[in-house]
């Protein structure tokens, strides 16, 4: 009998010790989860996250929680996933320096569904392949060659869409401008009618990308899937024709990124198939024009609101314009002389970042700032958590391009293009097309906003709700 009680007692003791050990283990290796709340089942806090953007102030979702829970990290539940939002320069530094060590890229399920990869691999693997391919197309020598092409297209774009107009709606025109350049440089489509045909379905694509993935008729997600299929079909037609032209010597293997993709093999000697090339070009066309068109639109908005800033840009650009012979295209030297204009553009990117942030996935359990982040959780970094933070940018709402003079903002605070190994590979390309746009715009016009306090909608990029109509005044 004694033996019976002793064995029961020792078993209970063993269970108790095991419990304590487990508790202790989860306490030390896992730690406390970040403070925060996870909202409703399944949808979590997705509605608040997306709807603050639709109302025009996406930073509210972030700053409300930074104030309530922690200025460094908080817990939430977004787009169907348990998530932590890392904030401030410390959060950005941690994420950007731990890429592929503690975290890896992750895109919401909606992105994988809108872009189902024809090669059956995930958007993550495809992004790695894309990254390997881009340097050739975006290397400095190539970029310098594009300045002339961008200038030429900008000239045509402004003379056919802006000149001789009293009023224009800026956002659709900016899309037309950046898309025309992308269509010319990525796939050699230049004819305005063909460019317009290709652009049409893109207009519904972006808002379905970062959405709750409900595939029912009429939802943004459903419309985005249809649009992406339509674009892929058009691209496949262009690719088929290109292959014929390449075989007949009518197209060159280096004329654009499409030729490059069709004629370059990977390390195992395999060439990408047509469907895969179409997927990649589709991704690039989205990344490469929507972001920059949002930036150009906000440049027009801020220059209308701030006459003294307009004067500074005008002075700089007119000096460049006057130094050119008739018909001479802009070149690399001219771009280097656009310092003030680029500071202005950076201040616009700070206040209206085209991408609000991006997701990562935790590769293992790890601790950030004393809080445990479990393996598999999604992590979001937010540009606004530093861009509009008075600790990083004093008087954050003040438009002040001098913040970018000298050594500029502190590391990891100005992040419109992200940071670390995943920093936007199109940053320099975007800088060139934005500066060429500013050159053409101020050289020709002054303008005023028609709607004084037009609402801003962020879905997922910021745009003025009515497209920013302005009244144009051509220089005498
Ligand atoms: C003002 C314009 C632009 C802005 C603000 C912007 C912003 C960004 C940001 C923030 C990221 C990083 C997302 C992350 O951390 O995961 C990114 C990635 C990327 N961007 Fe851009 N971008 C712009 C223009 C472009 C252009 C013109 C191209 C193509 C020519 C491009 C191609 C890409 C690609 C392919 C990636 C994915 C890189 C990867 O996952 O490794 N972007 N962009």
Tens of pLDDT along 64-103? 999 999 999 999 999 889 999 999 999 999 999 999 999 9
How far apart are alpha carbons 87 and 62 in whole angstroms? 8
- Rounded to two decimals, the pTM is 0.89
End-to-end CA distance of the chain: 109
Average pLDDT over residues 423-433: 95
How far apart are alpha carbons 76 and 85 in whole angstroms? 7
8-state DSSP, 40: B
CA of 427 to the centre of ligand 1 (A): 7
Confirm whether residue 424 is marked as ligand binding.
yes
- Return mean pLDDT, the chain: 88
Look at residue 114 and tell me whether its pLDDT is greater than 80.
Answer: no
CA of 425 to the centre of ligand 1 (A): 6
- Concatenating the DSSP letter of every residue in 171-206 gives HHHHHHHHHHHHHHHHH----HHHHHHHHTTHHHHH
Taking CA atoms only, the protein residue closest to ligand 1 atom 14 is 358
Alpha carbon 145 to its chain centroid, in Å, reads 24
Helices (H), strands (E): how many in the chain?
A: 18, 12
Query: Looking at residue 117, what is its pLDDT?
Result: 58
Alpha-carbon separation of residue 118 from 55, 154, 221, 279 (angstroms): 36, 34, 19, 7
Please work out, in degrees rounded to the nearest 5, the angle formed at the alpha carbon of residue 99 by the alpha carbons of 78 and 76: 20
Query: Looking at residue 24, what is its pLDDT?
Result: 37
Taking CA atoms only, the protein residue closest to ligand 1 atom 42 is 426
Where are the domains positioned within the chain? 34-474
Please work out, in degrees rounded to the nearest 5, the angle formed at the alpha carbon of residue 427 by the alpha carbons of 396 and 405: 45
How far apart are alpha carbons 378 and 358 in whole angstroms? 10
Look at residue 207 and tell me whether its pLDDT is greater than 70.
Answer: no
CA of 418 to the centre of ligand 1 (A): 8
Look at residue 12 and tell me whether its pLDDT is greater than 50.
Answer: no
Query: Poorest-confidence range of 45-59, 170-184, 207-221?
Result: 207-221
Ligand 1: residue of 417, 420, 436 to mutate (most ligand atoms within 8 A of CB) is 417
CA of 246 to the centre of ligand 1 (A): 30
Higher-pLDDT residue of 141 and 246 is: 246
How far apart are alpha carbons 434 and 439 in whole angstroms? 9
How far apart are alpha carbons 285 and 290 in whole angstroms? 8
**22: confidence class by pLDDT, cuts 50, 70, 90:** very low
Strands 445-449 and 469-474: antiparallel
Look at residue 266 and tell me whether its pLDDT is greater than 90.
Answer: no
Element (H, E) at 132: helix 123-138
Task: Indicate which atom in ligand 1 lies nearest the CA of residue 134.
Answer: 35
Ligand 1 site: residues with CB under 6 angstroms?
105, 127, 130-131, 284, 287-288, 291-292, 295, 354-355, 358, 416-418, 422, 424-426, 429-430
How far apart are alpha carbons 111 and 207 in whole angstroms? 11
How far apart are alpha carbons 291 and 341 in whole angstroms? 18
Look at residue 14 and tell me whether its pLDDT is greater than 60.
Answer: no
CA of 261 to the centre of ligand 1 (A): 19
What values do phi and psi take at 174, rounded to 5?
-65, -40
Tens of pLDDT along 371-424? 999 999 999 999 999 999 999 999 999 999 999 999 999 999 999 999 999 999
How far apart are alpha carbons 96 and 103 in whole angstroms? 9
Ligand 1: residue of 127, 287, 344, 348 to mutate (most ligand atoms within 8 A of CB) is 287
What values do phi and psi take at 192, rounded to 5?
-55, -35
Taking CA atoms only, the protein residue closest to ligand 1 atom 16 is 358
Query: Looking at residue 79, what is its pLDDT?
Result: 86
List, in sequence order, every beta strand (DSSP E) within 413-468: 445-449, 456-458, 462-464
Query: Looking at residue 349, what is its pLDDT?
Result: 98
**11: confidence class by pLDDT, cuts 50, 70, 90:** very low
CA of 280 to the centre of ligand 1 (A): 14
Is residue 375 within 8 A of residue 362, CB to CB? The reply is yes
**2: confidence class by pLDDT, cuts 50, 70, 90:** very low
- In CATH, 34-474 is 1.10.630.10: yes
Higher-pLDDT residue of 217 and 148 is: 148
Task: Indicate which atom in ligand 1 lies nearest the CA of residue 96.
Answer: 15
């Amino acid at each position: 009998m004694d033996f019976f009680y002793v064995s029961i007692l020792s078993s209970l003791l063993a269970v108790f010790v095991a419990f304590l050990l487990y508790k202790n283990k989860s306490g030390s290796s896992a730690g406390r989860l970040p403070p925060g709340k996870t909202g409703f089942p399944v949808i979590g806090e997705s509605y608040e996250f997306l709807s603050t953007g639709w109302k025009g102030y996406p930073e509210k979702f972030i700053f409300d929680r930074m104030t309530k829970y922690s200025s460094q990290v908080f817990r939430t539940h977004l787009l169907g996933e348990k998530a932590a939002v890392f904030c401030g320069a410390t959060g950005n530094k941690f994420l950007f320096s731990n890429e592929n060590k503690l975290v890896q890229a992750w895109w919401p399920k909606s992105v994988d569904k809108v872009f189902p990869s024809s090669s059956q691999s995930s958007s993550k693997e495809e992004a790695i392949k894309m990254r390997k391919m881009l340097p050739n197309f975006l290397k400095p020598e190539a970029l310098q060659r594009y300045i002339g092409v961008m200038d030429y297209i900008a000239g045509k774009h402004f003379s056919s869409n802006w000149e001789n107009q009293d009023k224009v709606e800026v956002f659709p025109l900016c899309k037309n401008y950046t898309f025309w350049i992308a269509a010319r440089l990525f796939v050699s489509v230049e004819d305005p009618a063909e460019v317009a045909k290709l652009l049409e379905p893109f207009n519904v694509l972006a808002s379905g990308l970062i959405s709750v993935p409900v595939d029912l008729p009429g939802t943004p997600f459903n419309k985005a899937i249809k649009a992406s299929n339509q674009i892929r079909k058009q691209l496949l037609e262009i690719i088929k024709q290109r292959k014929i032209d390449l075989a007949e010597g009518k197209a060159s293997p280096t004329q654009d990124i499409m030729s490059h993709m069709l004629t370059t093999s990977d390390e195992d000697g395999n060439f990408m198939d047509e469907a895969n090339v179409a997927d990649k070009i589709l991704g690039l066309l989205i990344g490469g024009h929507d972001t920059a068109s949002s930036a150009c639109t906000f440049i027009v908005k801020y220059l209308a609101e701030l006459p003294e800033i307009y004067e500074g840009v005008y002075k700089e650009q007119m000096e460049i314009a006057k130094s050119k012979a008739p018909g001479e295209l802009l070149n690399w030297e001219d771009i280097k002389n656009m310092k003030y204009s680029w500071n202005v553009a950076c201040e616009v990117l700070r206040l209206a970042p085209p991408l609000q942030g991006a997701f990562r996935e935790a590769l293992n359990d790890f601790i950030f700032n004393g809080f445990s982040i479990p393996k598999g959780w999604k992590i979001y970094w937010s540009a606004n958590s530093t861009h509009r933070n008075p600790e990083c940018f004093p008087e954050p709402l003040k438009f002040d391009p001098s913040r970018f003079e000298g050594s500029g903002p502190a590391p990891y605070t100005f992040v419109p293009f992200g940071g670390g190994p995943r920093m936007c590979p199109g940053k320099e390309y975007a800088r060139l097309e934005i500066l060429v746009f500013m050159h053409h715009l101020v050289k020709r016009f002054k303008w005023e906003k028609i709607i004084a306090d037009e609402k801003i909608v962020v879905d997922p990029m910021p745009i003025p709700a009515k497209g920013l109509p302005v009244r144009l005044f051509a220089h005498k």
